[in-house]
Structure 1
Amino acid sequence: MPAYVIGQVEVTDPETFAKYGAQVPATIEQYGGRYLVRGGATEAIEGDWAPPRVVVLEFPTMEQLKKWYYSEEYKPLIALRQQSAKTQLSFVEGYIPS
Structure 2
Amino acid sequence: MAAYLIADVDVTDPAVFEEYKREVPATEARYGGKYLGRGGATKVLEGDWQPHRLVIVEFPDMDSLMAWYDSPEYARLKAIREKCATTRIIALEGVVGDG
TM over 0.5: yes
Equivalence for 1:60:
60
Superposed CA RMSD: 0.9
Aligned residues: 98
| TM superposition outliers: structure 1 runs of 4+ over 6 Å | none
Q: Return the offset for 1:87.
A: 0.4
Tell me what 1:5 maps to. Answer: 5
For the residues of structure 2 that align with 1:4 and 1:73, how far apart are their CA atoms? 19
- Gapped runs of 5+ residues in structure 2? none
In 2: Cα distance, 1:36 partner to 1:97 partner:
20
Moved more, 43-52 or 11-20: 43-52
Cα distance in 1 for residues equivalent to 2:73 and 2:38: 20
**Does the 8 Å CA contact 1:37/1:57 hold for their aligned counterparts?**
yes
Identity value in percent: 50
Gaps of 5+ in 1: none
Query: What secondary structure does 1:88 align onto?
Result: strand
1:37 aligns to 2:60 (yes or no) = no
Distance 1:51 1:97 in 2: 30
Report what 1:22 is aligned to. Answer: 22
